[in-house]
Chains A and B, each alone.
Chain A
Amino acid sequence: MFHYLLNIDAFLLIEKLVLIAIIVGLCMVVAMYTTFAERRVAAFIQDRLGPNRAGPFGILQPLADGVKLFFKEEIIPNFSSHFLFILGPGLAMTFALLASAVIPWGSNLEIFGRTVPLQIADVNIGILYVFGVVSMGVYGIMIGSWASNNKYSLMGGLRAASQIISYELALGISLIALLMITGTLRLNEIVLQQQAGYWNIVYQPLGFFIYLICAFAECNRTPFDLPEAENELIGGYHTEYSSMKLGFYLFAEYVNMFISSAVMVTLFFGGYDIPFVDESTLSTNVAGILSVLAFMIKISLFLFFFIWVRWTVPRFRYDQLMRLGWKTLIPLALFNMLATGAWMLFTNK
């Protein structure tokens, strides 16, 4: 009946659906094991051992945690808006996963004679898409916090909103400097440029630094975890949540970390580029698989860094957070943009 609507390549459709399923699954699994890595690394930093009982070295711990969350009692507060209360964690998770659509996870693969790019959608506004999705992510937190009908939750939601808006500005401006160099918004093209030349970190160290700090703030990670400050706001926006809805919020944070690590690697560290190897000498499939591996290794280094910083640096005070965002990062980002422009004019690029 609707076959005329689908006059698109059926193979393309299947290929993309499979790719989407794989990538979403990958995000979930990586997020699960990041929670495990967080607990283990935290323990090691604090001279403990961490969870090592479930399975060899405790690698089944995330499954146990997930099962526990599913079997916990679900509590929905009486005076909250039920629909919005359930919508909140769903939105947080959805927007966290959405950004994975434009990230190039690797170079091409050849399957049954078809060249399959390891990217769901190569849109020509890739960076802006990521930016837009990240800026929507705060709604999950805000809606959930408001629907909880709890003052601590609301405080957490308001903090999240103002924090994310403040740091988005510096994030955007630091990206503009990068875009002036690359001249394209297409993420795949940015990676290809870095594959041919040097990684962008060489050209944009300051831009990367600003982006890194803002990424911490956008993911609500320590030292910017004020929205969920345990000791002042008893959990912040997820105070009233329990069971898997709480799990979704916590999980979305780790998916966000994974995605923003992937974006940072793509923009500044050559994406799926394998360092010191000329990919054109390898066959397509080998290069494709190796590139995915290289990408994942780079991402896991970033994830480790996220965790490492969390267990080192204490939380900022709220006025310090705002001062850092508005009075330090934004002027720095503007300076970086001007300097990049001047340098490009000077070298006639």
Chain B
Amino acid sequence: MTPFTNRSKPVDRRPMSLMEKIYVPAVVEGLAITFGHIFRRKPTIQFPEKQRVFGTAFRGLHVLNRDEEGRENCTACGLCAVACPAEAITMEAAERQPGEENLYREEKYAARYEINMLRCIFCGLCEEACPKDAIYLTETFTPSDYTRKQFIYTKEDLLIPHPVKEPEAYEKALGNKPKRIKQKDS
């Protein structure tokens, strides 16, 4: 059989030489190697204090976007749920009542919007499917929890903070990515 790579190495079945039989030189050699590793720079990133620098393509936790006046973008069209290969998104649509114009941007909105983070594979297809710029994958990742139920994120968990009422939290939650995408589009 021809090898697939040039990295294969045949097993050395020659009888051991005297130095190898004594075994101690090999142990000393191993000790030298491990001792050298003690002083190497450790690649560990100490998480809460230091955060890893993510690549520009990183896809983290979802956020449901609002427009500049703080109205929800989502119209519950269901395209994200259709696009989702893991079937993690469920939603329920409702009609906007008179007087709710400051809450929802269009006549239809999502009364219920849930993403099961245990099912989600963070592929970002929902982001691409959305015609209304309503859903983005941010640069934060899902925190751990003790129960499965906690991982079904409701609309309240997903909605981005209000840009007029809490501008700082809004900026923080927005991160860099939606801005980048907006710049690219315009």
Residues of the A chain whose Cβ atoms lie less than 8 Å from the Cβ of B44: 48-49
Question: Which residue in chain B gives the minimum CB-CB distance to A44?
Answer: B38
A252 to B44, CA, bound (A): 32
The answer to whether B42 and A48 touch across the interface, beta carbons within 8 angstroms, is yes
Residues of the A chain whose Cβ atoms lie less than 8 Å from the Cβ of B30: 312-313
Residues of the A chain whose Cβ atoms lie less than 8 Å from the Cβ of B46: 49
Query: Are A41 and B42 CB-contacts (below 8 A) given A308-B31, A312-B30?
Result: no
- Shortest C-beta distance, B119 to chain A (Å), equals 32
A41, A46, A48, A312: the one within 8 Å of B31 (CB): A312
Question: Which residue in chain B gives the minimum CB-CB distance to A314?
Answer: B30
Question: Which residue in chain B gives the minimum CB-CB distance to A320?
Answer: B23
The answer to whether B34 and A308 touch across the interface, beta carbons within 8 angstroms, is yes
Grouping DSSP codes into helix (H, G, I), strand (E, B) and loop, the A interface class, with mixed when no group exceeds half, is loop
The answer to whether A47 and B37 touch across the interface, beta carbons within 8 angstroms, is yes
Q: Does any Cβ of A come within 8 Å of B14's Cβ?
A: no
Interface size grouping (class) on chain A = 10 to 19
Residues of the A chain whose Cβ atoms lie less than 8 Å from the Cβ of B4: none
Interface size grouping (class) on chain B = 10 to 19
Q: List 15 A-B contacts (CB under 8 A).
A: A44-B37, A44-B38, A44-B42, A45-B34, A45-B35, A45-B38, A46-B37, A47-B37, A47-B43, A48-B42, A48-B44, A49-B42, A308-B34, A312-B31, A313-B30
Grouping DSSP codes into helix (H, G, I), strand (E, B) and loop, the B interface class, with mixed when no group exceeds half, is helix
The answer to whether A45 and B27 touch across the interface, beta carbons within 8 angstroms, is no
Q: Does any Cβ of A come within 8 Å of B40's Cβ?
A: yes
Question: C-beta contact mask, A34-52 vs B, less than 8 Å → 1, else 0?
Answer: 0000000100111111000
- Shortest C-beta distance, B168 to chain A (Å), equals 30
The answer to whether B42 and A47 touch across the interface, beta carbons within 8 angstroms, is yes
The answer to whether B31 and A309 touch across the interface, beta carbons within 8 angstroms, is yes
Residues of the B chain whose Cβ atoms lie less than 8 Å from the Cβ of A308: 31, 34-35
Question: Which residue in chain B gives the minimum CB-CB distance to A313?
Answer: B27
Residues of the B chain whose Cβ atoms lie less than 8 Å from the Cβ of A131: none
Q: Does any Cβ of B come within 8 Å of A311's Cβ?
A: yes
- Shortest C-beta distance, B6 to chain A (Å), equals 27
Residues of the B chain whose Cβ atoms lie less than 8 Å from the Cβ of A47: 37, 40, 42-43
Residues of the B chain whose Cβ atoms lie less than 8 Å from the Cβ of A311: 34
Residues of the A chain whose Cβ atoms lie less than 8 Å from the Cβ of B35: 45, 308
List 12 additional A-B contacts (Cβ < 8 Å) besides A45-B35, A312-B30, A312-B34.
Answer: A45-B34, A45-B38, A47-B42, A48-B44, A49-B44, A308-B31, A308-B34, A308-B35, A309-B27, A309-B31, A312-B31, A313-B27
A309 to B31, CA, bound (A): 7
Residues of the A chain whose Cβ atoms lie less than 8 Å from the Cβ of B43: 47
- Shortest C-beta distance, B19 to chain A (Å), equals 15
The answer to whether A41 and B27 touch across the interface, beta carbons within 8 angstroms, is no
Question: Which residues of A in the span 279-313 have a Cβ within 8 Å of any Cβ on B?
Answer: 308-309, 311-313
